[in-house]
């Protein structure tokens, strides 16, 4: 009892101590939420790992599953109802959307690696998404040809596909000369909305007519909004906030 009283007095009289405690609670909640999402998702966590050019250490960015999930929730508020994952790299992100209630489908198309002539999608899968507001998911876009072909294929099938979600925000439409500079500059291609969701700011795909002018392209929530993302995702899964732990 005395220990509890001491803790309360510290929090009241020492703002720095209170801040430290809140920060620790938030980090704990971040870790718990990340683990919960990873267990529900069940995908390969390798998509969250990367190597820097100057060392061999593998960096784990798996906390970004919180930002991806938050983005899916925000896009749901924009009216998106169904997600179509572009095989194979877009599937892990589509599964994250499915976790928060999106209707889930897959489409098979690979322009660069497998040199496919046209997208392939099961008739039943296409029927399932008709009449819904659809968003595609893929890991990146380089020249925009994959998006262009998939959009054309789905719209020809009377599917209302009006957006795409890109899982890796460091891929751009520009030639790679200096990789480190390329990754840094690519981040400016995204415009951050008020709640952290980022939308494509670069006009290359539109100017080159790779995607329709009314087509929206998004990526995961800005990392600076992580605390708010934790709150929103925790609220969706009915998890207690850090203050009540």
pLDDT digits (tens, 9 = 90+) for 208-231: 788 888 899 999 999 999 999 999
Tell me what the pLDDT averaged over the chain comes to.
83
- The 3-state DSSP composition of the chain as helix, strand, coil percent (nearest 5) reads 50, 15, 35
Angstrom CA distances, 211 to 14, 36, 108, 118, 172, stand at 55, 36, 18, 16, 15
Which CA distances in Å does 219 have to 56, 74, 99, 193? 27, 11, 17, 11
Q: Are 208 and 154 a contacting pair, CB within 8 Å?
A: no
From CA 66, how far away is CA 96, in angstroms rounded? 10
Alpha-carbon distance values, 145 to 8, 85, 111, 120, 171 (Å): 59, 16, 7, 15, 14
- Res 184: pLDDT: 53
- Residue among 135, 144, 121, 117 nearest 210 (CA): 144
- Decide if 6 is inside a domain: no
Structural contact between residues 117 and 108, judged by C-beta atoms closer than 8 angstroms: no
Among 68-82, 97-111, 166-180, 209-223, which stretch is predicted with the lowest mean pLDDT? Answer: 166-180
User: Which range has highest mean pLDDT (1-15, 34-48, 49-63, 148-162)?
Assistant: 148-162
Q: How confident is the model at residue 7 (pLDDT cuts 50, 70, 90)?
A: low
Cα 226 from Cα 64, distance rounded (Å): 9
168 falls within a domain: yes
Indicate whether 30 belongs to any domain.
no
pLDDT band (50, 70, 90) for residue 235: very high
Q: Tell me: pLDDT of 25 over 70.
A: yes
The string of pLDDT tens digits covering residues 113-153 is 888 999 999 999 999 999 999 999 999 887 788 999 999 99
In a domain, 43, yes or no: no
What's the pTM? 0.82
Q: Looking at the predicted structure, is the pLDDT value of residue 21 above 50?
A: yes
Range of the domain at 131: 58-229
Q: Is residue 116 part of a domain?
A: yes
- Residue 19 located in a structural domain: no
Per-residue pLDDT at 164 = 97
What pLDDT is recorded for position 80?
Answer: 98
The reply to whether 12 falls in a domain is: no
pLDDT cut 70: percent of the chain above it: 76
C-alpha to C-alpha distance for 29 and 25, rounded to whole angstroms: 6
| Contacts (Cβ under 8 Å, ≥6 apart) of 182 | 170, 172, 174, 176
CATH code assigned at 160? 3.40.50.2020
Residue 34 lies in a domain: no
Domain count, the chain: 1
The pLDDT, as a whole number, for residue 243 is 47
Report residue 242's pLDDT band, with 50, 70 and 90 as the boundaries.
very low
């Amino acid at each position: 009892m005395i220990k509890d009283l001491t803790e309360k007095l510290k929090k009241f009289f020492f703002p720095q101590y209170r801040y430290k405690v809140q920060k620790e609670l938030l980090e704990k909640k971040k870790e718990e939420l990340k683990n919960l999402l990873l267990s529900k998702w069940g995908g390969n966590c390798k998509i969250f790992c990367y190597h820097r050019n100057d060392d061999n250490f593998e960096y784990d960015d798996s906390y970004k599953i919180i930002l991806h999930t938050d983005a899916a929730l925000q896009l749901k508020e924009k009216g998106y109802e169904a997600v179509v994952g572009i095989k194979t790299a877009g599937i892990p992100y589509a599964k994250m959307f499915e976790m928060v209630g999106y209707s889930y489908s897959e489409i098979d198309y690979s322009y660069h690696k497998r040199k496919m002539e046209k997208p392939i999608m099961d008739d039943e899968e296409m029927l399932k998404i008709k009449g819904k507001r659809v968003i595609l998911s893929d890991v990146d876009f380089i020249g925009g040809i994959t998006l262009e072909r998939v959009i054309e294929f789905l719209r020809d099938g009377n599917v209302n596909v009006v957006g795409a979600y890109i899982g890796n925000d460091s891929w751009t439409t520009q030639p790679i000369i200096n990789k480190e500079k390329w990754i840094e500059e690519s981040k400016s291609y995204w415009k951050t909305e008020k709640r952290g969701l980022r939308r494509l700011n670069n006009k290359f795909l539109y100017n080159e007519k790779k995607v329709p002018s009314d087509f929206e392209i998004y990526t995961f929530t800005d990392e600076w909004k992580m605390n708010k993302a934790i709150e929103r995702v925790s609220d969706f899964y009915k998890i207690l906030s850090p203050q009540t732990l």
